[in-house]
Amino acid sequence: MGVDQDAVSTGVERVRTTLTERPPWLYAVLVAGTALRLYGLGTESYWLDEIASLNYVLSRSLVEVIVELPFVDRHPPLYYALLDGWISLLGTGEAPVRLLSAVFGIAALPVMYALGARLYDRQVGVLAAGLLSVSGLHLQQSQNARMYSLLVLATLASMYWLVRLRESPDRRAGVGYLCSTVVLGYTHAFGLFVVAAQNGQILTSRLLDENGEWPIPLRRWLALQAGVGLLVLPYVAVLSRQVFALDDGGGVALGWIPEPTLSRLVFAVGRYLHPRDPLLGLAAIVLVCVFAAVGASRVPLHRENTTLLAWWFLVPVLAPFVLSYLVAPLFVARYTVAALPALLLFLSKEIRRLGSVEFRYIGIVLLLGAAVAGLPGYYGQPQNGEWREATGFVAANATEGDLVVVSDRAANDTFAFYYEGPGAVRGVQEDANASHLNATVRGHETVWLVSSRMESTQEARFQRLLERRGYEGRESREYNAVDVYRYERGS
Any domain includes 14: no
The domain in which residue 339 lies consists of 20-380
Query: Do residues 251 and 245 touch, judged by C-beta distance below 8 A?
Result: yes
Model pLDDT, residue 11:
59
Q: Is 250 exposed, middle or buried (0-12, 13-18, 19+ CB in 10 A)?
A: exposed
Where the chain has pLDDT below 50, the residues are 1, 249-250
On whether both 136 and 35 belong to a single domain, the answer is yes
- Predicted pLDDT at 18: 65
395 and 268 in one domain?
no
Record the pTM: 0.92
pLDDT of residue 58: 92
Same domain, 43 and 124: yes
Alpha carbons 99 and 102: distance in angstroms, whole number:
5
Residues 313, 453: one domain?
Answer: no
What span, in angstroms and rounded, lies between the C-alpha atoms of 74 and 243?
10
Number of structural domains the chain divides into: 2
pLDDT score of 409: 65
Do 295 and 158 lie in one domain? The reply is yes
Instruction: Please state, in angstroms and as integers, the Cα–Cα distance from residue 121 to each residue in 116, 393, 414, following that order.
Output: 7, 55, 47
Q: Among 380, 407, 426, which residue terminates a domain? A: 380
Answer with the one of 319, 354, 380 that is the final residue of a domain.
380
What pLDDT, on a 0 to 100 scale, did the predictor assign at position 408? Answer: 76
* Contact residues for 112 (Cβ-Cβ < 8 A; gap 6+): 125, 128, 129, 132, 156, 341, 344, 345
Q: What are the DSSP calls for 110-174, one per residue?
A: HHHHHHHHHHT-HHHHHHHHHHHHH-HHHHHHHTSSSSHHHHHHHHHHHHHHHHHHHH---HHHH
pLDDT at 454: 79
Give the list of residues 6+ apart from residue 307 with CB closer than 8 angstroms, or none: 201, 205, 208
Both 66 and 184 in a single domain?
yes
Residues 69, 87: one domain?
yes
| 191 and 151 share one domain | yes
Count of other CB atoms within 10 angstroms of residue 426: 16
- 341 and 395 assigned to the same domain: no
In a shared domain, residues 370 and 416? no
Nearest-angstrom CA–CA distance, 433 and 424? 20
Residues 320 and 418 in one domain: no
Burial state string for 367-397 with b = 16 or more CB within 10 A and e = fewer than 16: bbebbebbeeebeeeebbbbbbbbbebbeeb
Q: What is the model's pLDDT at position 400? A: 92
228 shares its domain with 294: yes
416-463 pLDDT, tens digit per residue, is 899 999 988 888 887 777 888 888 888 899 999 998 877 788 888 888
